[in-house]
Amino acid sequence: MKTKKIWANFSVKDTNRTYQFYTQLGFKPSAQNGYPKLASFLFGDDEFTIHFFEQGSKIDEYLSPGPTTNSEIIFTLAADTEAEVNEWAERVKNAGGAIFQEVGRDQANYYGFGFADPDGHKFNVILMDKM
């Protein structure tokens, strides 16, 4: 069986806040924006879609209302330079995101950081220049 497309769905408290956060980070809204209780964005060159559904919508029967202390999934955003990683960190802070892993090199010597959006959904930005 061949899958035509894959996307992700998250539950959020306030789609307006979510829309503002990801817009401030520079992500492109998808064509699905405009539907009630939905903020949707395109990530990366292949435009991977993440839908953020507001709690109280039909999606609640499929999604828990927010992440717990552990994450089931973490999305990684690839950077091309250390300067780009640093710029991402500033954008995240300015947009109201929470940095849970400060910018720096990890055990594998990759340069990056980890952040959570206003609803606690986790991402990391990483430069894999030592591969």
pLDDT tens-digit readout, 37-48: 899 999 999 999
In a domain, 63, yes or no: no
- CATH number of the domain where residue 4 is located: 3.30.720.120
Residue whose structure tokens are 């894999």: 128
**Same domain? 77 vs 129:** yes
**pLDDT the model gives residue 60:** 72
Number of domains in the chain: 2
* Residues 99-109 pLDDT 10s: 999 999 987 78
Range of the domain at 28: 1-55
- pLDDT given at position 109: 87
Structural domain contains residue 47: yes
Examine the domain organization and report whether 123 and 78 are in the same domain.
yes
Helix (H, G, I), strand (E, B), or coil: what is residue 48?
Answer: strand
What is the pLDDT, as a whole number, of residue 68? 57
Could you tell me the CATH number of the domain that includes residue 124?
3.10.180.10
Buried/exposed 106-120: b ≥16 CB within 10 Å, e otherwise: eeeebbbbbbbbbbb
What secondary structure letter does DSSP report for 72?
Answer: S
Residues in the chain: 131
Does residue 61 lie within any of the structural domains? no
| Residue 1: inside a domain | yes
